[in-house]
Structure formats: C-alpha cells, structure tokens
Amino acid sequence: MARIDAETLVDVPLMAWGIHEAPGNLSYVYFCASGSYKNRPPGEVAGLYRLEISTHSIELLV
C-alpha cells in the first residue's frame, strides 16, 4: 500500500468545521470556525469563512 503524506493547506482561525465546496465554483470552500471564548487568540473571530484554494487566502463572511 502506498504511503500518502498530508500537508497543512492553510492555518485557519480557531477550529474549522463543516467544510463544504462552493456550488459551481471549485476554487472555493466554505467553513465555520469557532472556539472557546475564554481561550480565543487575539484577533481571531468565530464565523463563516471562505477559503480560496489556489491562493490559500481566507475571508471572513459573517
């Protein structure tokens, strides 16, 4: 069996959950990020994010 190594694609804010492809546009995926309010790093916000796969850029939507 061949071994496959994985790499981190992008360092997302907090914990990413519910990752979904963008309908009709495979260049993007959407995910929710959340975490403990008590332990949240400064500047990181819970919300709905869009990841552009080719540039690894993240945009907060909501």
- Structure token pair of residue 45: 């916000």
What pTM, to 2 d.p., does this model score? Answer: 0.68
Do residues 30 and 17 make contact, with C-beta atoms less than 8 angstroms apart?
no
Please tell me the total number of residues recorded for the chain in this structure. 62
Residue 25: per-residue pLDDT:
92
How do the pLDDT tens digits run along the chain, 62 residues long?
Answer: 567 776 777 666 566 677 888 889 999 999 888 766 566 667 777 888 899 988 988 898 98
Rounded CA-CA distance 21/43 in Å is 26
